Structure 1
């Protein structure tokens, strides 16, 4: 075995044994490996394989450590400094710029950002994938597997970051697009216009355009513009959306799924959140009527959000009831019209319904009076 090979193997062994599981996960991603086994042994094998495909193996390994900010390993294993590697990387890179960007974005994300991102991706990624994701990088990996995000397709990610109010990170994606010259005209014909519309509500019910702006956290001193179109001839109007709390969010979780996550998400978005769990039809209707009676709270709010998770049919909610009775969705909507609830007149009202369909009981559902 050549001395150079021995040096590389020794360096790889020291690197793998010095990193924790989270750091190894990042290394696998930077090396374009989605292996679910990020053990020390698997990392050693992967790095040995990668080194053989690089003419400059030392630069490959040192750039990995520099991206991880493991400057101690640079000094101990490669006898070089952070500054020296930085000077080299000004002129030559080995790692994918796209993957470096994704890793850096993930590192800058905090738990609150992750909760918002998971909520907004709930209609794009399976629940089990969202639950297993420990970092934003895990979400990126799943989006790459679906071909939603790739080195040539980052618009979806850019909008995601804007919608969770990480404008600073969205600007990094914009800068990346400019650097690599991404534009739709450079994409293959089969990829043009294929990016899915990001961030629909659960069950594929997309909120209107005002919803996406309303779900952004902004400084209290800056109003959040929410656009609406009355007609083609009318001028653009803006909703005022700068109170604190922003508005009222009512969550009715009759199934036990997602209610807590929604509560955390809308609290992070500065909403006054009211969460009810395991309600019958009568209890659900009573809860809505109680909200309508809170005149002062609704008058101060700049908007209203209602999230309902329940069994039901196309037109009725069943709550925890087994049969015979149902609450019509139209009845729920009518409770918050300008006539029934003048405190919310002229304000954005967003309804998100996650319904578990039971067609057998559709014939048994009867409207519960809304009055």
Structure 2
């Protein structure tokens, strides 16, 4: 009986509807013909006991074929929706991706394929006909899954589809809430029911084998990171970036340079930017303390601080008149550690500092009498004359020390800050890890130094415990 029903249904479906239906069934090949789709559906339903009718009616509801619900399955949209309130069979993640695909137009698809040209193989991109084709390819190289949707959300924002990004964000929050409410055993369940999974393994063995080969052969450059065994490993390895805005970005410029590009970059990265120019050392401390006390930090996912200032011995910021002992860089870091700023405990604190060394060093006691220490790190480090910061978790410290004479050059622009804004923009589009973003910055500074030896020294230290993607 079900064989006849399936035949009636598939005979009425368009090619795009067949693709959506096949994807909703859990397959990673959406270009299969309707005959194969009919085989998969029949195999799935034959192995299910009491949910076969529910599964089929839900599929028709998800692809919005209400006429088939009425004419073939003898039910209605309202009836099925009521029946599925608490016991849907189809994966919520796959329903989301299918719905997003339906809302994408040709222009959006072209924009996405352009952004992904360096992520997916060229031959695959040439065959893209729908958003679901992109989803499938991203799933194959493990850059998209039910637990890893940040990247696709960022892509939606990059092509100015905030409505679709909002849909994905809502799903992310829903998944997060479920994980908080359920036990560890429940967290490790697969997207599809066990009965559906067993059926797909039998009827789509060729597809599964092909997928495994893709995982083995895919270019290492397309992988976001090496995944540790276990379903929940990526939840442990990646800092959450779920809030909007993601956090505060504080820009303090004691020189008066053009920081518009820096401000625009972090605004695009969904940070609330606060910018201050030409402050005295006392005012710098006041601003830093005010920000560190903000209650908004408790609901933020990260904090960013950008400093541009003259300095002594590369470790003490000077105010606008360049007199006095200056402000110890260690003081800035200390104000935002977990002890001083509980709202940022366990969250990434990113510091991007451009200083210009001024002669005649003076001894300086840091604010609160805090002494310099050593930052232990597994990450790459390019040591310069600056003292390193004390050991604290979740800190990313990028400091470029340049010669003061550069400021006398007409229309001077910091090579470091220009490279940083460019690399952050590219990293956001390509979903690149922050350390890899900084590698691109280091490359630009190195190339500049090869033309103008000794002009800048870049120092990177970090105590990040997880991966971070901006």
Matched, 1:232 2:226: no
User: Quick one: distance in 2 between partners of 1:118 and 1:27?
Assistant: 23
User: Quick one: distance in 2 between partners of 1:189 and 1:32?
Assistant: 22
Aligned to 1:47: 41
User: Quick one: distance in 1 between partners of 2:308 and 2:114?
Assistant: 34
User: Quick one: distance in 2 between partners of 1:101 and 1:228?
Assistant: 38
Report the CA distance between 1:38 and its aligned residue. Answer: 2.2
User: Quick one: distance in 1 between partners of 2:276 and 2:103?
Assistant: 36
Aligned to 2:141: 146
Report the CA distance between 1:54 and its aligned residue. Answer: 2.4
Report the CA distance between 1:208 and its aligned residue. Answer: 8.7
* Candidates 70, 74, 80, aligned match of 1:79: 74
Aligned to 1:293: none
* Candidates 188, 196, 200, aligned match of 2:232: 188
User: Quick one: distance in 2 between partners of 1:210 and 1:87?
Assistant: 47
3-state SS of paired residue (1:134) = coil
Q: TM-score, normalised by structure 1?
A: 0.52
Q: What is the number of equivalent residue pairs in this alignment?
A: 224
Aligned to 2:95: 100
Report the CA distance between 1:349 and its aligned residue. Answer: 9.6
User: Quick one: distance in 1 between partners of 2:163 and 2:306?
Assistant: 34
Aligned pairs for 1:128-277 (under 5 A) are 128-181=123-176, 188-189=232-233, 192-193=236-237, 232-234=306-308
* Candidates 72, 97, 114, aligned match of 1:119: 114
Aligned to 2:460: none
**Cα contact 1:12–1:48 (8 A) shared by 2:** yes
**Cα contact 2:20–2:30 (8 A) shared by 1:** no
3-state SS of paired residue (1:32) = coil
Report the CA distance between 1:120 and its aligned residue. Answer: 1.4
Report the CA distance between 1:20 and its aligned residue. Answer: 1.0
**Cα contact 1:21–1:38 (8 A) shared by 2:** no
Mark the structure with the bigger radius of gyration.
2
User: Quick one: distance in 2 between partners of 1:126 and 1:234?
Assistant: 41
**Bigger Cα displacement from structure 2, 179-188 vs 224-233:** 224-233
Aligned to 2:9: 15
- 1:160-198 CA-partner distances (Å, limit 9, x unpaired): 112111111111111112212278998633674479xxx
**Where in structure 1 are there 5+ consecutive unaligned residues?**
1-5, 196-206, 217-223, 236-336, 341-345, 354-371
User: Quick one: distance in 1 between partners of 2:6 and 2:113?
Assistant: 35
**Cα contact 2:156–2:162 (8 A) shared by 1:** yes
**Where in structure 2 are there 5+ consecutive unaligned residues?**
188-230, 240-260, 278-304, 310-408, 413-417, 427-470
User: Quick one: distance in 2 between partners of 1:146 and 1:176?
Assistant: 22
**Alpha carbons of structure 1 residues 126 and 338: separation in structure 2 relative to 1, 3 Å:** farther
User: Quick one: distance in 2 between partners of 1:13 and 1:27?
Assistant: 14
* Candidates 57, 61, 84, aligned match of 2:56: 61
**Alpha carbons of structure 1 residues 150 and 62: separation in structure 2 relative to 1, 3 Å:** same
Alignment RMSD (CA, Å): 4.0
Report the CA distance between 1:12 and its aligned residue. Answer: 0.5
Q: TM-score, normalised by structure 2?
A: 0.41
- 1:39-93 CA-partner distances (Å, limit 9, x unpaired): 2211111101111232211111111111111111111111111111111122220
**Alpha carbons of structure 1 residues 155 and 215: separation in structure 2 relative to 1, 3 Å:** closer
User: Quick one: distance in 1 between partners of 2:276 and 2:19?
Assistant: 46
User: Quick one: distance in 2 between partners of 1:156 and 1:228?
Assistant: 28
- 1:175-231 CA-partner distances (Å, limit 9, x unpaired): 112212278998633674479xxxxxxxxxxx9995696799xxxxxxx99999998
**Cα contact 2:23–2:94 (8 A) shared by 1:** yes
User: Quick one: distance in 1 between partners of 2:97 and 2:410?
Assistant: 45
